[in-house]
Chains A and B, each alone.
Chain A
Amino acid sequence: MRFRTATLALFVFLLVPGACVRKPAPAVAKTPAAAKTPVAPPPLRYEVRLGKVTFTHYCQTCHGESGAGDGFNAFNLDPHPRDLSDPQFQKKKSDAELADAIQRGGAGVGLSALMPPWGHTLSAGQIDELVLYLRTLPTLRKPAS
């Protein structure tokens, strides 16, 4: 009798800590309300977003918001700025070539001097970010109407 009670006691003793083990918390984020949070996921990666800031500030006036070469200063320029969102053009140029043209400008790579060299203004890192952003332009391109 005594043995049984002792075994039982031991068993209960072991059960107690077992029962106290933490259960995984219910996943809060999976409630239906989660879908309605005002916070949208960032569409672009961090470096690409930085590249976009640089593009908007320095390039957009001539190359246009979508990079199509239709910025509002574009019509003052002859030759017109390049359509950067053209997938054919993007395919032809490597990242290094794009970065080089930004750095040394049109005159530096044998094209029009109206594209200024940005190598003394932007850091190498900023130019790399810019190239990353340029690569997203064809995907944002609207179908020709």
Chain B
Amino acid sequence: MPLRRLFAASSVLFLLVLAISPAKNAFRSYRSLQRQFRKLGSSRAHSLKAAQGYETRPVAIQQIWLRDFENRVDRCTTCHLGVADPLMAGAPRPFDLHPGTPHTPGGFDRFGCTSCHGGQGLATTQGDAHGSTADAGPPMTPPVFIESGCGRCHLSESVDGAPVLSRGRTLIARAGCYACHAVRGQDAFRSEAPPLATLPVKTGGEWVKRWLKDPKSIDPNATMPNFHLTDQAIDELSHFLFAAQVPKELASRIETAGAEPAGSSANGKKLVSESRCITCHTVEGKGKGTAPELSKIASTASRGWLLAFLREPQAFNPRTPMPRYHFSEAESRDVVAFLEDEFRDFDAPKGILEPLRVNQTLAENGRKLFRLYGCFSCHDPAGSGSEKFGPELDGIGDKRAQSLDFGRRTDLVRTLPAWLAAKLESPRSFADGLKMPSYGFSADDSRAVTTALLALGAQSVPDRYRYAPPRKPALLPGGPVGGLIQSYRCLSCHEIGDRGADVSTAPLTYEGSKVKRDWLVDYLMLSYTLRPILEERMPVLKMPREDATQLADALQNFYLDPSIPEDPFAARPASDADPVEGQRLYVGLGCRGCHILGSSGGYYGPPLTEAGKRLKPGWTYAWLKGPQRWRADVRCPDYGLSDTDALRLTAYLETLGPAASSAKSESAARGVR
């Protein structure tokens, strides 16, 4: 009998156990959320039918299945029911409408949720999906780093609509992270660190030691990080650096230059200010550039080196962005005399530029340290072989917090972003013997770099999802013109196609269709301020006339855009009334708010006083028809001008400036014809 009773009891228990699974499902939180959503929807609906639509929604798991995107299944919309529902703007979480982004509300079906937000799409409880329970997969990306999601598919350095990610990528490139760490698509990266061969004749032992101790204390713009070296290591490394073989030719140039008589400091001051050094360099922190700080340069480099470098920078560092100025011998002496008078560290010890007498044993130890700390990655990439010094960074954004070595940092929250931020802030704090130097990023910069790092997934996304902006072909001629472009380093500031830097507001890609040749020749020889609000201005390069003519002709012949008409008045000849009507438009549209004309106007756009001398009418017309076509972020508003109005305004601007008389008679002649 007891056996039968036992059987009965166990049967009941067995049934109960069986019932647990369906019961668990029935009480899942998403079910009650979906019922709440029904009520919320029907209370917000504008029509009875819409309200009924909400009332009759089935209670079920919702999902977005992306077969072509790693077979993702995102069930987030099971709880986040209102993400694509305009009625749910301002509704409480999790029912609220998703903010408008380039991919929402139109792109939910194509991009799902986890592709941007991370987390576990398959899960159907909040804890598992958001990754807050202990054994869930990688958690969601915290909102401050959300732009890392953009970076998974958008691979270019600058991504529209993702300023934090873009800044992070720029900082990573500038800090030279790619020199030590392999990252997909960055194989061609080369650090801008200077070669060290001329160091023994450039500076002194004391300076090198101070620099190695903390580069940023000497030059706040230094890209070299702080390696936290011991005094002994610094000593050994200095001896190694001073044991380098200086190329004979450069050594003799520096020696002869050092023996030249001193120049005139007063004239040097004038030359320095008109050369616009602070377009790239800073002086006591003034200037937006990132080239070396100049206020202590004469206590950094010897007189001979400064002179020889100024005369031909590219002979010392083939990768330097510094252009070659055509100073005369005497002028360059004047410039250096001024630097020596004004731009020196008055607190520095006398012998800061004394060369170091090399001790071979210390130098040999230094050589080992040079390898140990991976200095070669930046300073001698050719000699380092193909193996990168640090661990590769691909996949760092997919690392699980449990797999990271937090070492001594028990104070940290165990998440990937916290680990990355701490690694950037004080890389050596995790354990002894780590080699990564510290970069001194600000909190904002560290957040941007972390965002960019979180974008580095283990796998690249499928081709269909990968996006790189369309390539703009760059025409870079060889021969003498190519030599001039190289020597004047046009690409350090100007863009040509997708090459070059975006320091100048004027890309050279279509410069020939834009400005008149005679103006260009004059401007190249003696450039002046076009945009007073900018600190970055074209330096006076002291270009000889033949160079200026050759460059101007090349720009006029090659750098053209077929969509800019040669003669905008071809189809509709200009009449004498056009400039008058154009002037009326100029006033009526409020152009003077931004442009100086004559003695008044705003300080925003370029002055138009000499517009007729500078700009080709075809360009003016094309610009007026849509400024953003020529520069996507330009502030000159698109007024949506009609062809006629744009031509009238063009005709008016053509009359401005000293050279206008000939242009006017030309267009008048055309009108008569």
Contacts and interface: CB of A to CB of B under 8 A. Distances in A.
Given A31-B413, A116-B637, A41 B590 contact: no
A123 B414 CA distance: 42
A109 interface: no
A49 to B, nearest CB: 9
Contacts of A24: 133
A114 B413 contact: no
B413 A28 contact: yes
B99 A121 contact: no
A36 interface: yes
A129 B588 CA distance: 28
Interface string A96-137: 000000000111000011111111110001000100000000
Nearest to A45: B99
Given A38-B421, A39-B421, A76-B601, A113 B6 contact: no
Contact of B413 (A10, A14, A37): A37
B: contact size bracket: 35 or more
Interface residues of A, number: 48
A120 B639 contact: yes
Contacts of B638: 120-121
A119 B589 contact: no
Interface string B10-35: 10010000000000000000000000
B142 interface: yes
A109 B163 CA distance: 33
Contacts of A116: 589-590, 593, 637, 639
Contact of B604 (A73, A119, A125, A129): A73
B635 A33 contact: no
A114 B143 CA distance: 39
B589 A113 contact: yes
Query: Interface centre among A10, A31, A36, A37, by most B CB within 10 Å?
Result: A37
B413 A72 contact: no
B421 A36 contact: no
Nearest to A71: B604
A112 B590 contact: yes
Contacts of B145: 39
Nearest to B633: A57
B603 A73 contact: yes
Contacts of B593: 62, 73, 76-77, 113-116
A37 B101 CA distance: 28
A28 to B, nearest CB: 6
Query: Interface centre among B10, B161, B593, B633, by most A CB within 10 Å?
Result: B593
Interface of A: 3, 6-7, 10, 14, 22, 24-25, 28-29, 31, 33-34, 36-42, 45-47, 50, 53, 57-58, 61-62, 72-73, 76-77, 105-107, 112-121, 125, 129
The 3 closest A-B pairs by CB, nearest first: A25-B134, A113-B590, A120-B638
Given A72-B533, A117-B637, A117-B639, 17 more contacts: A7-B6, A10-B9, A25-B133, A28-B413, A29-B132, A31-B413, A58-B635, A61-B604, A72-B603, A106-B590, A107-B588, A113-B588, A114-B592, A115-B590, A116-B639, A117-B640, A121-B627
6 contacts: A10-B13, A37-B421, A40-B443, A62-B604, A76-B602, A105-B637
